Each structure stands twice: as structure tokens, then as C-alpha cells.
A and B are shown apart, each in its own frame.
Chain A
Amino acid sequence: MAYLVLIGTRKGLFTATSDNRHDWVLKGPHSLDADGFTAVSEIYATAADPATSRLLVAAESPHFGPSVWSSDDLGATWTEPEAAPLAFPQDLPYRPLDFSDTAGVDQPGSGRSNTVKRVWQLAFSPARPGRVWAGVEPTSLWSSDDGGATFTFNRALWDHPHHETWGSGGGGPAVHTIIPDPHDGDKVTIAMSTGGIYQTSDDGRTWDGITKGITVDFGPDPEPESGQCIHKVARDAEGTLFTQNHGPVYRREKDGWANVSAGLPSEFGFALTAHPSRPGTAMVWPVVSGMYRFPPDHRLAAWRTDDSGDTWAPWGTGLPDGDYFTPVLRDASCTDGAADPAWYFGTRSGDVFAAVDSEGTWRPVAEHVPDVLCVRAIETT
């Protein structure tokens, strides 16, 4: 077997390949465009389709704006459409980016028009070939039915009555998580920060908020239906949702959410990934608190549950045992979906690690690349 890891960083896309998931060959930063400016662009979103091996990368150039590139040869060549893959309809009334945006000041040069600032998430739909969902800043959802070449703006989510309560987290107001149902192409779960968790069961024509029951400690209402700081959501192999919030880690239950943080060294964190085939198994990378964003005890550790969050424990050997001062960002963890999957995560220090589930040993995939913003992995043969 062979494996490919896509590593999106603050400056460019890196790739790593391996035949055994122990020894990795790192390449990059890649120039997706012929002139090379994407080698220093921010890569907030990548996606790899297990069914077709098609790759997608969203790059945001500070100079030349955002765009989406695709590759059908495992990254040997990249294609970008002539027309903008995503562009807001300009007859759409302007929506402020957040509560502080009273004069469009967060969009220099863009006045009071809605414009795509950044693509935060790309997700292939396992149940609908060709469908790709994109989560975008400002907070919006888009869909493509041509494999990610062109995207259509989802007006139903934009018009959701909660929209006025959605705002900007530290990174910007965006849909940052998209989880297409693996069996039903009409069902999708999304999350935004700030905002909440929403689901559709009719291919995006209507959206229901499911955030009620998650508590916050930063606002007057301890259980707001919206305006929540959701950091990440993951779906386990049986469809149970977990969320790493600004506050605790939660497990979705029949009519609400259960706080399952009791076994963790802290409630705060960003990244969360579920095992692709073993129900109740997930991993998080705790951070001390919202005000002290370092790993607990300044030690890098992945915390794992195998009982749906009832208990947690540090998992795996091989991580650096000295001081470590940077967190794992919200989209910088994943698995490769193999029968015996490997777990992957990257840090703001530019280190990426992989560990095969049955082995439990973390090995370096990349070292000293720029801040890791997103990681995706795929079995390629």
C-alpha cells in the first residue's frame, strides 16, 4: 500500500508519501500555480477523495485572493479554473462579518460587499460522487457537483434566522467543519465559529441548529442556541457526533449533548478526530485554557477515548518528551481511513506526526515546516 499526506501550512502546501507509514518522504512547498505565489499562500483547506484519489487545495494569497486547485494525479500537476470557483452573488445584501463590523472595516478595499475571503473546509461527499462542500469565510456554505471546479452558494444557510448571531472567532467568521453523511448524500453536518452546529437532511435546502445543550462561560446565556464557539466536530463510525468546544468536549445524545471532558487534563482545545471504523473511539489535543493556549504541562500529547468519552488517556509513544509550546489547530488532525488506520496531526511548530492505530507509535512525517493549518491523508493504492 501507499499513503499520501496533504499538509496545509501558513506558507504553502507540503506533501508526504510512504509505503509503510513509518518512513516518509516530504516535498514542498508546492507551487500550485505556474508563477509560484501559492508556495507562500495560506493553505487552510485540503481534501482527498478516497473513491477517486482526486485532491483539492484551497489557497489564499494575501496579494491575489482565494482560489481552489485540483489534482487527479496525486499532486503531480494542479489545475485551477479560469473563472473564480467561488464568488458571492453581488445582488446579495451585505452582511456584517461580526458585531464589530459596522463599516466594513474587516474587508479593506471591499466596501460593503460580500466577498470570499478564505476557504476553511473542503469535503467530498462519500454518498454523492462529484459533490464537494466548501466552508467559507465570511460564514457561508457552498457546494460543487463537478468535483470542486465550480461552487454554488447555499442561500438557505445564509438566510438562517440565526445568522445575525454568528460572528468572528479569533481566526475569522467561517464554516470550518463539514461532515457529509457517508450513506445519505442529503444529510450534512456543519459547524461554524462563532455560531453553532447545524444539520440538513434535504441536501442543504433547510438547516436545523443542534447546538442547544452545549454550555458557554463567556456570555450571559449559559446555553445559547447560537453564538457558540464550536471548535471542531467529528462523527464516529456509528454516526455519533463529538465536539471540541471553546469549553468542554461533548458527545451527542438523543436530545442534547453530554459533557465528556472529565477524563481530560483540560476542557479547551481545537482538534478532534474520530476513528473511521471503531465506534466510540476519538482523539483530542487539549490546550490549557482559552487564555493560556499551550499544551498541558507544556508536553505534546494526543488524548484518546475508546468508550465514547467516558474515559480518556494519553495515547502513543514517540512524541517529543521535552517542552512543547504550540497547539494543534482545529483542522490539523485526521486519519487515513485505512482498515488499520493511521492517525495524523500537525502543530503550529510545523511538526507532523503519524501513528498506525494497531502500533501506537508516533513517527515524524514532517519537521519544521510552517505552522500546520490542516492535514489530510489518503490510502493511494
Chain B
Amino acid sequence: MGAIDVKLPAALASECGGARHLTVDLPPEATLADVLDRIDATHPRLARRLRDEAGQLRRYVNIYIGEDESRRLQGLGTPVAGHDIQILPSIAGG
């Protein structure tokens, strides 16, 4: 098991009691999907802000694994061991 630090945007902080970080413990082979599944088990409302009911990332939710956005890696199947994770909503809108 390893501790993965997940950094949250301010727009979702209340879902974690105001905290801007979550720590999840996962086995070394864990993927981003495993991280989100773990969040879903403990913080379901936060989880559904990030993924739809089909399990896909919402269009304007970006998740960085280390320094790379997950869509540029292996998406939800990207291994996360050794990396911090940061959730960043797109800055968009008029």
C-alpha cells in the first residue's frame, strides 16, 4: 500500500470539510480509476463532480498525475504510484 496525495480545487473543498487535500492508500499497481473509486466510496458527492455515471471524466475536469494531465497519459488507466494527483477544473466560460 502507498499513500497518494490528491489536491482538490477550492470549488470542491466543501465536499471534504474544507480540506484541499485527500490522502488515499492504494496498492502499487493502482490506477487513476482506482483513486477515483476510492474517493467515490468515501466522498460520493465529490466523486460525481469528477465523473459521470458511466465512470468517465467530466469534460472540463482535468486530473494531473505528476506534471501530466491524465488524458495525455493512459486516461483513467494511468498508474499513479509515486505521483501526487491534482484536480483542476478548466478555466472556461463567458
**B53 touching A109, Cβ below 8 Å:** no
CB distance from A339 to the nearest CB of B (A): 41
Interface string of B46-72 (1 = CB under 8 A from A): 001110111111111100000000000
**A40 touching B93, Cβ below 8 Å:** yes
Q: Which residues of B contact A61 (CB under 8 A)?
A: 49
**A36 touching B56, Cβ below 8 Å:** no
**B92 touching A64, Cβ below 8 Å:** no
How far is it, in angstroms, between the C-alpha of A33 and the C-alpha of B15 when the chains are bound? 10
**B11 touching A109, Cβ below 8 Å:** no
**B60 touching A63, Cβ below 8 Å:** yes
**A62 touching B60, Cβ below 8 Å:** yes
Among candidates B10, B48, B49, B57, residue contacting A109 with C-beta atoms closer than 8 Å: B57
How far is it, in angstroms, between the C-alpha of A343 and the C-alpha of B53 when the chains are bound? 39
How far is it, in angstroms, between the C-alpha of A63 and the C-alpha of B60 when the chains are bound? 5
**A62 touching B10, Cβ below 8 Å:** no
A115/B14 contact (C-beta < 8 A), A40-B93, A109-B59 known: no
User: Which chain A residues numbered 113 to 159 have a C-beta less than 8 Å away from chain B?
Assistant: 113-116
CB distance from A78 to the nearest CB of B (A): 13
CB distance from A115 to the nearest CB of B (A): 4
Among candidates A63, A83, A108, A113, residue contacting B54 with C-beta atoms closer than 8 Å: A113
Q: Which residues of B contact A325 (CB under 8 A)?
A: none
**How many residues of chain B get a CB closer than 8 Å to chain A's CBs?**
25
Q: Which residues of B contact A111 (CB under 8 A)?
A: 54, 56
How far is it, in angstroms, between the C-alpha of A308 and the C-alpha of B7 when the chains are bound? 60
**B14 touching A34, Cβ below 8 Å:** yes
Q: Is the interface of B mostly helix, strand, loop or mixed?
A: mixed
Q: Does B45 contact A (CB under 8 A)?
A: yes
**A36 touching B59, Cβ below 8 Å:** no
How far is it, in angstroms, between the C-alpha of A116 and the C-alpha of B60 when the chains are bound? 16
Interface string of A50-87 (1 = CB under 8 A from B): 00000000000111110100000000000011111001
**B11 touching A108, Cβ below 8 Å:** no
Q: Which residues of B contact A34 (CB under 8 A)?
A: 14
CB distance from A253 to the nearest CB of B (A): 42
**B59 touching A108, Cβ below 8 Å:** yes
Q: Does A358 contact B (CB under 8 A)?
A: no
Q: Does B24 contact A (CB under 8 A)?
A: no
A37, A67, A81: residue with the most chain B Cβ atoms closer than 10 Å: A37
Q: Which residue of A lies closest to B18 (CB)?
A: A34
Interface string of B6-37 (1 = CB under 8 A from A): 00001111110000000000000000000000
CB distance from A36 to the nearest CB of B (A): 7
**A35 touching B54, Cβ below 8 Å:** no
B44, B53, B58: residue with the most chain A Cβ atoms closer than 10 Å: B53
Among candidates A40, A64, A113, A114, residue contacting B49 with C-beta atoms closer than 8 Å: A64
**A64 touching B58, Cβ below 8 Å:** yes
Q: Does A110 contact B (CB under 8 A)?
A: yes
A36, A65, A83, A84: residue with the most chain B Cβ atoms closer than 10 Å: A65
Q: Which residues of B contact A62 (CB under 8 A)?
A: 59-60, 92-93
**A63 touching B61, Cβ below 8 Å:** yes
CB distance from B55 to the nearest CB of A (A): 8
**B44 touching A115, Cβ below 8 Å:** no
**B54 touching A110, Cβ below 8 Å:** yes
**A84 touching B12, Cβ below 8 Å:** no
Q: Which residues of A contact B60 (CB under 8 A)?
A: 62-63
Among candidates A63, A67, A88, A113, residue contacting B89 with C-beta atoms closer than 8 Å: A63
Q: Which residues of B contact A33 (CB under 8 A)?
A: 14
A90/B57 contact (C-beta < 8 A), A63-B89, A63-B90 known: no
CB distance from A155 to the nearest CB of B (A): 16
**B14 touching A109, Cβ below 8 Å:** no
Contacts A36-B11, A62-B93, A108-B59 supplied; 6 other A-B pairs, CB < 8 Å: A35-B15, A64-B61, A82-B44, A90-B53, A109-B52, A109-B58
